[in-house]
Structure 1
């Protein structure tokens, strides 16, 4: 494979702003075809972005010649379906996060891609964003000393609306959509997350979640996510014996390292297209030039944490996924 020609399933706001421009500009990458159930919108996207083909049927897109890999950018409820379809056609898959609604769906995706011998990548793009890479490097270099605890807080004024609040489509509410970013990055830095206890409140789409967790290294942590808090606050704090890092998950400002010498801002360099660094890695991986940063094997661990946290809540509300 000398380059990667993408077929994109689902061309909404994420593809328009967060990923699509990178798929078109990363060296060795281009969009060859797009699909949306609303064919007129698929055609409009194709026309505006110079994409040669458009479809209103996913099967037609994955089977067409001239498509080397498939990007699935639909709500999580159809991630497994489209991934399995693409794998059956022999196409590697880059799928949006969260990987799927449940561990069972993730396992089916991994099995399909393994059986077909194709790669499976997941869009946990904070693994490659410069400010997160800088924070990870500081931790790995031991500049915090012995890491002791992690505190995560995400508060929003109100939960808003849309499909992300429909558990049938999203797998839950905004905890599933937003906390998954933070949990995946913590998994990258400290290893698999173990849930020690959780409290979940709200309707079927959970609105308040408190989680106590730990990592294999002995580091403990706590997370609070409240999407009806009436105020906004976004902080990840990592505390060690010799210093701390404080940063947001969803802002663009640099992480701040504080030691005995005082605070210092770490390198940031937020790209204008936030998925570009990860897409560069995915393309390089498909071309045999790099090891992948975010795969089905890594992403399923975050879905496993979410399933554990929400198990009782889902049972109370009769939420089940096949």
Structure 2
């Protein structure tokens, strides 16, 4: 392909800033059309983002001859359906994370990608962000010696729309649509990066519970996991805790020090050894998915390789399934 001509299925919030503008900003990449079931919203998005075409029917977008690559930004419940359709049309797919509702759906997507020979990429964009590349560099350079353990803490209060008499929780906590709750949505990023930085996780187990009863999905999870390298890890996720005690922190403990970092809310990496403390401040770029999308465009044009593909994306979903007891 000389120019990658994209069509977006599902032009919701994630496409407004995180991803959508990147398709226009990258050389040899064009955003040709967008689709949303609500035609008025699709037309509004197209107008505001200077996109030539819009659709309210996914099949019409998929079959548009002017489009040669598809970005699927719908909730996970429809990822498998749209991905398989696009792959069978010979159109490479970039699909939002989590890749699907569970590892079984992910594996079918990977199977069809291999069967058709059509590339499949997943939006685990931390694999290309400067913040996380610096973190991986510190690990690879043994800035704290040999890594012994990993710990993740993510404790957030409920979202406003999840509490009160008029509560209307979002689709992210409806397992039928999302595959799980906030754990499924956010921990997928965390485990994908950990495998990218530290290698495969060979086992994981956990306890997942719904304590507050605000929605159907689990709202608290405890987990332990082990990498093939022998590094061990643990984590706790709570999404109905105290607003005052909101925490987004992870650390790596090594034989010569400790690295503290954040997966979502902070931009400082702190490296502590016996004699020194060093900090790296690396804010996210304006469109956080653009560095990863650039690698996809490069690969499709035969000029590079994307680090986040179907096989690695499916791994994150498998680990989540292990932890919540789905496999």
**TM-score for both structures, normalised by structure 1:** 0.94
**Corresponding residue of 1:296:** 310
What's the CA shift for 1:277? Answer: 1.0
- Residue 117 of structure 1 corresponds to which residue in structure 2? 117
Deviation above 6 Å: which 4+ runs of structure 1? Answer: none
**Where does residue 138 of structure 2 map in the other structure?**
138
Match of 2:235 among 223, 244, 264: 223
Counterpart of 2:222?
A: 210
Q: Deviations over 1:118-172 (max 9, x none)?
A: 1100000111111100010010011111100000000001154200010000000
- 1:164 aligns to what? 172
Q: 2:319 aligns with which of 284, 288, 305?
A: 305
SS at match of 1:250: coil
| Matched residue, 2:46 | 46
Gaps of 5+ in 1: 315-322
Q: Match of 1:319?
A: none
Alignment correspondent of 1:183: 191
Does structure 1 retain, via aligned residues, the 8 Å contact 2:203–2:227? Answer: no
Q: SS where residue 14 of structure 1 aligns?
A: helix
Is 1:254 aligned with 2:268? yes
Distance between the aligned counterparts of 2:117 and 2:171, measured in 1? 33
CA-to-aligned-CA distance 1:42-72 (integer Å, 9 cap, x gap):
1111111111111111111111111110000
1:283 aligns with 2:297: yes
Structure 2 residues not aligned, in runs of 5+: 163-168
How many residue pairs match? The answer is: 313
Correspondence list, 1:94-109, <5 A:
94-109=94-109
Task: Report whether the alignment pairs 1:6 with 2:20.
Answer: no
Q: Name whichever of 232-241 and 284-293 sits farther off.
A: 284-293
TM-score, structure 2 normalization: 0.93
Kept in 2: contact 1:130–1:270 (CA 8 A): yes
How far 1:21 sits from its partner (Å)? 1.0
Cα deviation, residue 179, structure 1? 0.7
The match for 1:71 is 71
CA distance in 2: counterparts of 1:242 and 1:267, whole angstroms: 22
Deviations 1:31-52 (A, max 9, x none): 0011001111111111111111
Give the drift of 1:196.
4.1
- Measured against aligned partners, the alpha-carbon deviations of 1:196-224 in whole angstroms (never above 9, x if no partner) come to 43111105301000001110111001010
Q: What's the counterpart of residue 93 of structure 1?
A: 93
Asked if 1:128 corresponds to 2:140, the answer is no
> Displacement of 1:260 after TM fit?
2.5
